[in-house]
C-alpha cells in the first residue's frame, strides 16, 4: 500500500449531476496514496468550503461540467477565505474553455483538467502542489 501523501477533498458544486469523472479522479488519487474525501453531488460553495476546513485538507478538487465554473470557483474561493482557509489550493476538472483558465487561476486554481486529461497528469499535479505546501510549512 502507498504511503499517505495528504488529504484531498473532491467536490461537485452546483446542479451538475454527472459525477463519474469525479469518482474516477478520487479513486486514482486514493490509489496514489492520498486520503480522499468525496462530498457528493449538488454541493453549495459553503458546503464545500466547510467540509474542506473540517477535514483539514491539503487541496480541493472541483468537478464542474455545467458551465458555471466562472461563478462557482470564485464563490468557493470566497467561502474558503471567510473560513480562514484561503490558502487551500484548488484544481478543476470539467468543460472549461481555455479562455477562462487565467481568470480561474486568480481564484487559487493551480491546474485545470479538461476531458482527455490523463489520470497520471492529475495525480502528478496534485502531488506537486501538496509537496510544495508541505515544504513551505516545514
Q: Could you tell me the domains of the chain?
A: 1-7+16-95+112-117 (3.40.50.280)
Please give the helix or strand (H or E) that residue 94 lies within, else none.
strand 90-94
Mean of pLDDT over the chain: 94
Quick check: 118 pLDDT over 70?
yes
Q: Is 44 exposed, middle or buried (0-12, 13-18, 19+ CB in 10 A)?
A: middle
Q: Rounded to whole angstroms, how far apart are CA atoms 58 and 78?
A: 17
Please tell me the pTM assigned to this model.
Answer: 0.93
**Per-residue pLDDT, 133:** 85
Quick one: pLDDT band at residue 110, thresholds 50, 70, 90? very high
Amino acid at each position: 500500500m502507498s504511503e499517505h501523501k495528504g488529504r484531498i477533498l473532491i467536490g461537485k458544486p452546483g446542479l451538475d449531476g454527472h459525477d463519474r469523472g469525479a469518482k474516477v479522479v478520487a479513486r486514482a488519487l486514493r490509489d496514489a496514496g492520498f486520503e480522499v474525501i468525496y462530498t457528493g453531488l449538488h454541493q453549495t460553495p459553503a458546503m464545500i468550503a466547510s467540509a474542506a476546513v473540517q477535514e483539514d485538507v491539503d487541496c480541493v478538487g472541483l468537478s464542474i461540467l455545467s458551465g458555471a465554473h466562472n461563478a462557482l470557483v470564485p464563490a468557493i474561493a470566497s467561502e474558503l477565505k471567510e473560513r480562514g482557509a484561503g490558502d487551500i489550493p484548488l484544481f478543476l476538472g470539467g468543460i472549461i474553455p481555455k479562455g477562462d483558465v487565467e481568470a480561474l487561476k486568480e481564484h487559487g486554481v493551480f491546474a485545470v483538467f479538461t476531458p482527455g486529461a490523463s489520470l497520471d497528469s492529475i495525480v502528478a499535479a496534485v502531488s506537486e502542489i501538496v509537496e510544495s505546501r508541505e515544504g513551505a510549512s516545514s
